[in-house]
Structure 1
Amino acid sequence: MEEFCCRINFVKGTIESRLERVSCKHRASSARLRRISSHFMEEDNAHDIFKWFSTLGSAQQQVSVDFRDETYNAELTLRGNLLTCVSTIDAKVPLLFVIEGATVRKYETKDSSFACLVSFPDPADNLILHFDSEKDRECWMVKIATCSHQMVRAQLDETAYKFYTMGTKQDGDAEESKSINSFYLTNPHTVNHNFALSQQNYLPARRVSFSETMSESKLSIVIPLELVKLYKKWITEFAALLESRQRRWPSFAINGLHDVLREVRENSETLEQCAEFLQNYSGPPFRKSMEKHRVAFAPVPTNLHVHSSIVDQRASQSVISCGTASCLPLRFQSGGLTRLLTILEISQSYHDFNFFSNRQAAVDLKKYIGQLNHRLEVEWTRDVEARRLLCSDISAGIKDTYERLKELIESVADVENYADILVEDEKRRLFLGQNIEKDVPDGLQNQLDTIDAMLVSLSTKVAVMDRIEDEQSKSEVYEKSVQDAICVCLDALLVLAESFLQAQLFGLVTELHKHSMAHLYFHIQIRTDFVLSQAITIAATAVVDAVYRGWPIFDGFAGDLLLTIFSFLSAYGDEKGMAEDAWEAWRQLESRVTFCLVRAPSQVCRTCVPLLSGARTQISVSIPLPHSIYDSLPASLKSRKSISVRCAYFNIGVNHEATLGQSFGGVALETSINQEGAERLLSYSNRYTVEQSARDAVMELVNAVASEPSRKNLAIYEWAMASCESLKGQAVICCKSGKDRTGMAVTIEQGRLLRETCGLNAAQLQEVIASLRRDGARRENCRKNVGKAMYSFSPFQMHFLPKVFRPPSGTYAQGVAS
């Protein structure tokens, strides 16, 4: 018998069938098809064809087959012009036919009324197919009659056209990303682009679809409002504490106390105005760049948006764009936070964060002392052995508390001298017959010496108590002695902690008055509060966005979130102060703020409203998530009580002011910022087990910073973004207003995504980025902020911008308010 085989060639991921007629002879004893003679094929590949058929899915039809005087049940499959018949009951050789030069007609017999005959040039190869219904027979007769080599070529051309010009999904992970989630984002603006990319080897232009969506964050107003309320609560409590000291402190300190109270009340009034404004605010949920000088808007980040991109429904990317976290409404007469902290001429121990950290530590120790006292009262009624263990535990707790209080006292400059001043003033008032409460009964060193002696006595009594095995009356006497000694020690520790708090507060007021630093101190405090509010809002948006995109998991462990912040501010004028504010803000965020993911209280919760709590030195942000999202979180993430955001901040100036700053102001600030940012990224990559490509990207960043940490070195930006993506972090791109330079940087990052996904060359990449800047969502961002879809660049500025940062002609104008 003669029948036909074909060769299958695989070219660039598509299947090209090149049909070649060959002569093959069938041997009954063989369990496979074998080629006997061929004028066109070098080897028999029929077996490979059947393998390929099995990968395309199950059989298309169950039929009864008559071939060469044999009748049996078989599975019928038709692919292109290849027809296979595989026996389903007996072990028979599969049949493979190439439908060329064949005819098909109905075949009516008495035994079968739904049969058709497939006739080949050789009558011995004719095939009779028996179907169960007229409908199946008609369907298959049409399929067999219309299949041909030309039809296969047409189908191949269609497949090739779709592959080269339409773009295809690569795998199951390439499904279209989730639609914009209204739980934390709102007002999405979507722009779809179709790019035709020319190709080599006379291939048709390849079409790439690119979709970008820019959305506002609902957290832009919600979190700043909650933070302002928290700030207002803290400053009100502090003001009440200061007011209570007016009749208890020495007269020479009252003027300094009044100065401090005046500054505290001014800050309180500013916070009250901010709270009132934000509560009544009814505009869009973001702060326009035109409002960046408004004090009531100071806690709100400028122009906060989440910008997501998808290429061919395969690769996706999300970045956060905004104005730099800085306190522009309070101006920069003496610089930003970094410079202000250097000119604050008081001891580091009285700086805002250190002062309240030590104060919180003392308050926590007072609470612990109370817990020890409560435990003594509750557990003392147990048996003798339990009381002995209780005394040993409480004694150890007392010693630990004593050591920690001692360390606190040593960490605060001159606190012992300030305590002595308060002691002497109280003695003077008592001598004058005034009825006062003794806040500091003795100097701190005297109290420490007394407690030290008490601890020696307590240790001796506890040791003796453990060895007593005499009659019960003596045991009770010793136990009562130990209990009294513990109570005396606890009371002495409580007095010491309170004395430290009083002396520390007095020392702060005295230091500020002595150096005339009250105004600067509380200016730094409220400035820090405002920029920290902006940083927390941006970070919270990044945390929720990371939850929806997929939290970084390293070796089955949910790590902390990496936040890479890149700003394009010049080290000159106000922008230098903004960079100093931002640098300090992201440091404060990492050291003072933790996040927690919780299940939303209601299934119908439609808006993310975080809960903020804690103290000045440790703020906790609890972010509620919809039930479906929270339940889908990795177990290692849900089990974490708190999440820290690890920040890596970079800055590169790109405009004409950056050139001036490099010429007159130096590059020390940018150098320090970028070196610290690179160190933080390197530290993060070493903390977890990451892919080698991620480590390589981080090392490229480190090398770029080492070679030139400033002077418009945009390689730092490229490798910082690449490192952030490979480490599964969140990127924040910002400038003064989050509109113009930010728009250029966002489109550069989109271009990088397209280049890595589609393999664009340099010329294509420039054209694509120019198209995104001309027709993309960033011009809508300009319109939302200033009312005009134009970037704010002047022809003069264009000469100083790097080429990759220059917008296309017709998209920018001079004099556009920003």
Structure 2
Amino acid sequence: MGEIEDGEADHITTDVQGQKCALVCECPAPESVSRKDNLPFLNAVLKNPVCKLYRFPTSDNKWMRIREQMSESILSFHIPKELISLQIKEDLCRNQELKELGELSPHWDNLRKNVLIHCDQMVNMYQDILTELSKETGSSFKSSSNKGEKTLEFVPVNLHLQRMHVHSPHLKDALYDVITVGAPAAHFQGFKNGGLRKLLHRFETERRNTGYQFIYYSPENTAKAKEVLSNINQLQPLIATHADLLLNSASQHSPDSLKNSLKMLSEKTEHFVHAFKDQLVRSALLALYTARPGGVLKKPPSPKDGTEENSSQDPPPPMRRQDSIPHHSDYDEEEWDRVWANVGKSLNCIIAMVDKLIERDADSEGSSGGGQDGEKDPSLVDSIITHPKEDWYEQLYPLILTLKDCMGEVVNRAKQSLTFVLLQELAYSLPQCLMLTLRRDVVFSQALAGLVCGFIIKLHTSLHDPGFLEQLHTVGLLVQYEGLLSTYSDEIGMLEDMAVGISDLKKVAFKIIEAKSNDVLPAITGRREHYVVEVKLPARMFEILPLQIKEGQLLHVCPVLFNVGINEQQTLAERFGDVSLQESINQENFELLKEYYTVFMEKMPPDYISHFQEQNDLKGLLENLHQNIQAKKRKNVEIMWLAATICRKLNGIRFTCCKSAKDRTSMSVTLEQCSILRDEHQLHKDFFIRALDCMRSRQTQGALNESDDPETGCLSDNKPTSRHFYPVALLLVSSHLLVVWLILSLALLLAKYQ
């Protein structure tokens, strides 16, 4: 946010003496906030800001000024709609590939028909959800009261930016951003059987132990099959385009253009060839061979051998009918090697031809420049080059055609075999498999919407920081989630969903492009295993970026989750339940954070690291965090403080999540803000509690309470508030009070459900 204007400063000095809350005023016009921030581009992402102004004394009796702002984000709905559209296209493409799988034995054909029926139903469901989302108008965020609605299940709950701008007399102005959002979870589907972490593990265990009807492929192999299929779909049209550009350069007789076109064609073709150097493709081809009716292997005509331009195709071998299940010896495994190797051979022929054309052209120019015919080197008179200079196009065209034919043969076989791998995943326990896919899509959509919002805000805030921009394209961006879910009842399932959804963010990369129009909303491309989010910047902002980012380098993120349950239910879980889920999540994510720190220290420039180490004792903080995770202390909030501090010092994005991003989230965020004022900006120690109460008061923090919905705009004064953690604080004083509290709680529960 921008600096506070002088007019505001005069107004701030007029607070009433003796008032507990140091709130000065509420910014009435959102436009003024955008103007002062000098970041109008953020208006495309943030809407309806609510701004509060405070002043607090420092330790040397001077005054600091604080502006607190909470904003909605229209990405709450935009990102899910983009994502669902992509998933519909992906599923339609997969269904078409299943239909084109060819003739299968009755067993596999029946499975395929069953899979297609269920997949078509899922596509229709996604289309209905997308239609309903497109009708949504009004509020740009989903309220907690709607978290169980089916049509809104892809939308995150209460996604907001919580921003604190500190204008301190000692330090330069500072911004502190936290994205608050409800824990990514499938609330509509419920948590009766647990969340994604448990459901996926159970599903894979059962599928691994399934009977003879299916062929088991590990999740890694299934993901690899999807990756290769995606590479095929991307590389084949690119290679065809570069091949046409090569022919165009040949028709123009431009040696330089011919070299450049050949370089691009070679790079893409080599990527294409290497994509099939995997044992999975071989095993999938054999599995598909055994699934053909009666063991019939239908071999299309062999592609042209790239070493012989004009050789005729060999006739297809006669089809052989085997017993019901053919033996491995009936399948020629070397045939696949020959098929995809022909692509490389065809490319080599094109390279040789281009080299000879350019060499002959250079020799002819040198000969004519000498003013005499002179004898040419016999080695340059190759049998391939028998046409005059004007026939470059005609000499390259047959080789390009051969390359495309060989590629078509490879693509046809690889697509069918890898689609057969995907059929295995879908055929087993069809309803459960598709419902797991739906649940994972729902959770991922909620997590991605928050991530994109946080990335764009962080990019705009740090756009003029060269160190951050270098870190962004060299190491990637750290994204730290603070979870406040308990390991009790339904929140166990929410935490399991959240852990998988945040882990899935590793397959997201960002790409920054220059905006060509007024539409600056981010766009998404890719597939479920790898998404690319394109962030658009105006030209004046795009020019600030380093060359690597401007050239389209993908920017990766490192998401980590640390969870500490802090409510009354967590007390029950720690006394009588199981907290192993929380412990394992924290330990796993500490290893990820430690790995990010190691890469950061290795790849960042030494001068930046030396300056960085002077300001931040990150190694000590990491060791302290590890000790606290290993200590297994009850309600160890030190884990949250340390993780948040490390994230801020590593230029990361901070998220705070609980069930609905209201009560516990507001408690955590306000406490973090006051702690920052104390530790970083010398807030007077006697005013820490006052500042905390001020930020949490109903008059200044209306909205973040379980009994007071911000979206409804009403207060329920007759309901008790847990904003100050009075129950938890009392329970920590004495074990006797805990026993009394448990007895009273059980009595209330019995009375409630009788």
TM-score, length-normalised on structure 1?
Answer: 0.64
AA paired with 2:93? E
Of the three residues 309, 330, 333, the one matched with 1:445 is 333
> How far off is 1:231 after superposition?
2.0
Contact 2:514 / 2:538 at 8 angstroms: preserved in 1?
Answer: no
Query: Is 2:321 the partner of 1:321?
Result: no
Report the counterpart of residue 641 of structure 2 in structure 1.
Answer: 718
The CA distance in 2 between the partners of 1:214 and 1:384, in whole Å, is 59
CA distance in 1, matches of 2:498, 2:457: 22
Deviation (angstroms), 1:461: 8.5
Q: Relative to structure 2, which stretch is displaced further, 178-187 or 765-774?
A: 178-187
Q: Deviations over 1:50-95 (max 9, x none)?
A: xxxxxxxxxxxxxxxxxxxxxxxxxxxxxxxxxxxxxxxxxxxxxx
Q: Distance in 1 between matches of 2:119 and 2:635?
A: 42
| Partner Cα separation in structure 2 for residue 391 and residue 284 of structure 1 | 51
More strand by share: 1
Alignment of 1:487-526 (within 5 A): 491-513=405-427, 516-526=428-438
- Distance in 1 (CA, whole Å) between partners of 2:345 and 2:434 is 46
Residues 1:336 and 2:195 aligned together: yes
Uncovered stretches (5+) of structure 2, i.e. residues with no partner: 1-16, 23-34, 208-215, 300-317, 322-329, 357-376, 734-744, 750-754
Contact 1:570 1:654 survives alignment (8 Å): yes
What's the CA shift string for 1:4-53, capped at 9, x where partnerless?
Answer: xxxxxxxxxxxxxxxxxxxxxxxxxxxxxxxxxxxxxxxxxxxxxxxxxx
User: In structure 2, how many angstroms separate the alpha carbons of the residues matched to 1:397 and 1:464?
Assistant: 16
Quick one: distance in 1 between partners of 2:538 and 2:115? 45
Shift of 1:737: 0.7
Look up the match of 2:451: 539
Instruction: Give the length in aligned residue pairs.
Output: 617
> What secondary structure is seen at the aligned counterpart in 1 of 2:96?
helix
Query: 1:744 aligns to what?
Result: 667
Partner of 2:211: none
5 Å matches for 1:719-734? 719-734=642-657
Match of 1:617 among 529, 546, 564: 529
Is the Cα–Cα contact under 8 Å of residues 339 and 409 in structure 2 kept in the other structure?
no
For the 8 Å contact 1:308–1:318, the answer to whether it is kept is yes
- SS of residue matched to 1:554: helix
State the match for 2:372 in structure 1: none
Residue 548 of structure 1 deviates from its aligned partner by 3.4
The 8 Å contact of residues 693 and 726 in structure 1, kept in 2 or not, is answered as: no
Q: 2 CA distance for matches of 1:244 and 1:598?
A: 39
Distance 1:629 1:391 in 2: 32
Separation (CA, whole Å) in 1 of partners of 2:288 and 2:668: 53
Higher relative contact order (CA 8 A, sep 6+): 2
Query: What is the CA–CA distance in structure 1 between the aligned matches of 2:50 and 2:218, rounded to whole Å?
Result: 48
What is the CA–CA distance in structure 2 between the aligned matches of 1:486 and 1:392, rounded to whole Å? 11
Instruction: Specify which of 561, 582, 595 is matched with residue 649 of structure 1.
Output: 561
User: Counterparts of 2:253 and 2:544 in 1: how far apart (Å)?
Assistant: 50
Indicate the SS of the match to 1:571: coil
Aligned to 1:469: 378
Specify the alignment match of 1:182 in structure 2. 43
How far does the alpha carbon of each residue in 1:208-233 deviate from its partner, in whole angstroms, 9 at most, with x for none?
54331211112212222222222222
For the 8 Å contact 2:249–2:261, the answer to whether it is kept is: no
Percentage of identical aligned residues: 20
Q: Does residue 301 of the first structure (1) align with residue 162 of the second (2)?
A: no
**Structure 1 portions without partners, runs of 5+:** 1-160, 167-174, 434-441, 806-812
- 1:225-304 equivalences under 5 Å are 225-245=81-101, 248-304=103-159
2:625 alignment counterpart: 704
> What whole-Å deviation, never above 9, does each CA across 1:236-257 have from its counterpart, x for those lacking one?
2323333455x73332113322
Matches of 1:534 and 1:650 in 2, distance apart? 18
**Aligned pair in 2 of structure 1 residues 267, 800: CA closer, same or farther (>3 Å)?**
farther
> Which stretch of the first structure deviates more once superposed, 397-406 or 683-692?
397-406
Other structure's SS at 2:498 match:
helix
- Distance 1:802-1:353 versus aligned 2 partners, 3 A rule: farther
AA of the residue aligned to 1:226: E
What secondary structure is seen at the aligned counterpart in 1 of 2:442?
helix
Q: Which amino acid aligns with 2:569?
A: E
The letter for the 2-side match of 1:448 is W
Deviations, residues 473-530 of structure 1 (Å, cap 9, x unaligned): 84458999999788657634431332121122123224543xx332233223222322
Aligned counterpart, 1:211? 67
Alignment of 1:781-800 (within 5 A): 781-782=704-705, 783-785=709-711, 787-788=714-715, 799-800=727-728
* The one of 470, 491, 496 aligned to 1:557: 470
The C-alpha deviation readout for 1:701-759, integer Å capped at 9, x for no partner, is: 34223343554221121122222222222211111111111111101111112202443
CA-to-aligned-CA distance 1:512-552 (integer Å, 9 cap, x gap): 43xx3322332232223222222222122112222332235
Between the aligned partners of 1:428 and 1:636, the Cα distance in structure 2 is 48
2:229–2:415 contact (8 Å) kept in structure 1: yes
Counterpart-to-counterpart distance in 2, 1:321 and 1:780 = 13
Partner Cα separation in structure 1 for residue 352 and residue 547 of structure 2? 51
Is 1:361 the counterpart of 2:231 in the alignment?
yes
1:676 corresponds in structure 2 to 591
Cα distance between partner residues in 1 of 2:251 and 2:592 = 58
**Contact 2:84–2:130 (CA under 8 A) maintained in structure 1:** yes
Task: Choose from 577, 582, 589 the match for 2:493.
Answer: 577
Distance 2:711 2:113 in 1: 43
Shift, 1:616, TM fit: 3.5
Alpha-carbon offset, residue 459 of structure 1: 11
CA contact (8 A) 2:486 2:567 kept: yes
**Secondary structure in 1 matching 2:51:** strand
Secondary structure at 1:784 match in 2: coil
Give distance in 1, aligned partners of 2:265 and 2:74.
52
| Counterpart Cα distance in 2 of 1:754 and 1:538 | 26
**Secondary structure of the residue that 2:692 maps to in structure 1?**
helix
Q: CA deviation at 1:594?
A: 1.8
Q: Distance in 2 between matches of 1:651 and 1:332?
A: 18
Q: How does 1:360-399 map to 2 (within 5 A)?
A: 360-367=230-237, 370=240, 374=244
Distance of 1:621 and 1:749 partners within structure 2: 30
> Does the CA contact (< 8 Å) of 1:556 and 1:636 recur in 2?
no
Inter-partner Cα distance in structure 2 for 1:415 and 1:730: 45
Specify whether residues 379 and 626 from structure 1 end up closer, same or farther in structure 2 by C-alpha distance, changes over 3 A only: closer
Letter of the 2:104 counterpart: W
Deviation at 1:614, TM superposition (A): 3.2
Partner of 1:328, secondary structure, is: coil
The one-letter code of the counterpart of 2:587 is: S
Structure ranking higher in helix proportion: 2
CA distance in 1, matches of 2:272, 2:658: 49
Determine if contact 2:157/2:182 at 8 Å carries over to the other structure.
yes
Q: Is the 8 A contact 1:395 1:486 kept in 2?
A: no
Q: Is the 8 A contact 1:648 1:680 kept in 2?
A: no
Counterpart of 1:622 in 2: which secondary structure? strand
Letter in 2 for 1:366: Q
